Amino acid sequence: MQTILIIIGSIITAFIALIVYSRIKMKSIPLVADHKNILTLTDKNFQQQTKNKVVLVDFWAEWCAPCRMMAPVLNDIASELSGNSKVGKVNIEQYQSLAQLYKVRNIPTLILFKNGKEINRFVGVKNKEFLLNKIQSV
């Protein structure tokens, strides 16, 4: 019985150590500068910037590790898009009203807009090919 408790205790300790280690690693993911083609969206320019075009909008926060993981993917997408297709970003800490308006509950949330109207929504980390296919199919 005592051996079983020691084994269970060891497993729980190892699991907790793994969680702590992964959180430290996730927080150390560096911030990536936005590509020049990425639109910085605010509550004042959102309607204008999403009107008459297809825009993939990333709702993100600086403290969010998965959001930091998405930044290079969004930069790649922004560099490949042309014409009326764009990538935009909304910092939900600065523009909480936009996050509330579009009912963003988790981040990263990516919403695809066409002519200012939501046509698709993706939650979590997505790869470049998936997002490009969704944008190009509009």
d(CA 86, CA 129): 15
DSSP class of 25: H
Catalytic residue (choose from 38, 57, 64, 81) = 64
Task: Give the C-alpha separation, 77 to 135, whole Å.
Answer: 10
Instruction: Give the C-alpha separation, 30 to 36, whole Å.
Output: 18
Closest-CA residue to 59 (of 117, 115, 30, 102): 102
49 in catalytic set: no
Q: Choose the catalytic residue: 54, 67, 70, 98.
A: 67
Active site residue 64: yes
| Residue 41 · residue 89 · CB < 8 Å | yes
Active site members: 64, 67
